[in-house]
């Protein structure tokens, strides 16, 4: 049964954004990791990686990407330059930021060190028993779970012992609300993971925003930006990678 809204009601096609005190927000997904390369390799995509997700390192290519991000950071105009960086506790994100910061300082020796914090709410989505499993490895290990994920949708699917993207959105919402209080008026850079950047978009789109189940993952070493428009933060750049080829300067 379809229930139609009463005559005179107005349906809002987009979300109603919550007022934000931040001056602006940048979000960088970490550079290519060993796990990213593992998942993309047909020779390994059907079996899990060893180790823990928190300790996955960058590839050599990822280190190069992080250096390009540093070049991008060094070229930002003063008004756009972050005054605070908040980083995921996972190794691949922390190394991405460390290489970025060093490359930026080398490129622009007038840059001042940026305050940096690590916040556990910016960790990647926890996959529980499927930690470090490519999707085809999950299907091979547990066809029933892979089918359930397809049936309910990735946004609400919670692997055994893990999180759904909706769960990630809850901790990201708490992080953004607290960030508003402690960094009002500042330009903030978040260095984290695809799941965090995606749910950040959902939270900032506001009350009633559609679930971003169909939004493609942002690439490794990509840059997204929300700029202040009146009392809200509006998405202006999503998953940009032009800085990796030198074709464009985001910001």
Sorted by where each begins, the domain ranges of the chain are 24-244
With a cut of 70, say whether residue 6 has pLDDT above it.
no
pLDDT digits (tens, 9 = 90+) for 117-132: 999 999 999 999 999 9
| Phi (first) and psi of residue 164, to 5 degrees | -85, 170
* CATH code of the domain made up of 24-244: 3.40.50.1240
pLDDT digits (tens, 9 = 90+) for 22-60: 999 999 999 999 999 999 999 998 999 999 999 999 999
* CA atoms of 192 and 125, how far apart (whole Å): 11
State the pTM of this model.
0.92
């Amino acid at each position: 049964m379809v229930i139609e809204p009463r005559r005179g009601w107005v349906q809002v096609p987009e979300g109603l954004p919550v007022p934000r005190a931040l001056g602006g927000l940048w979000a960088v997904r970490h550079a290519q990791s060993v796990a990213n390369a593992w998942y993309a390799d047909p020779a390994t995509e059907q079996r899990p990686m060893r180790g823990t997700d928190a300790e996955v390192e960058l590839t050599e290519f990822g280190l190069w990407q992080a250096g390009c991000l540093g070049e991008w950071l060094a070229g930002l105009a003063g008004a756009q330059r972050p005054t605070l960086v908040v980083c995921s506790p996972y190794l691949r994100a922390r190394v991405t930021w460390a290489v970025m910061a060093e490359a930026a300082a080398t490129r622009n020796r007038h840059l001042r060190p940026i305050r940096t914090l690590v916040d556990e709410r910016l960790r990647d989505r926890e996959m529980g028993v499927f930690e470090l499993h490519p999707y085809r490895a999950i299907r091979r290990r547990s066809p029933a779970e892979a089918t359930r994920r397809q049936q309910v949708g990735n946004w609400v699917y919670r692997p055994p012992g893990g999180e759904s993207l909706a769960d990630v959105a809850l901790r990201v919402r708490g992080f953004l609300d607290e960030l508003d209080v402690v960094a009002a008026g500042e330009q903030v850079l978040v260095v984290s993971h695809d799941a965090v950047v995606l749910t950040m978009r959902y939270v900032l789109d506001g009350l009633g925003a559609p679930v971003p189940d169909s939004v493609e993952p942002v690439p490794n070493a990509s840059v997204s930006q929300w700029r202040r428009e009146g009392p809200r933060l509006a998405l202006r750049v999503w998953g940009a990678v032009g800085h990796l080829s030198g074709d464009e300067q985001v910001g």
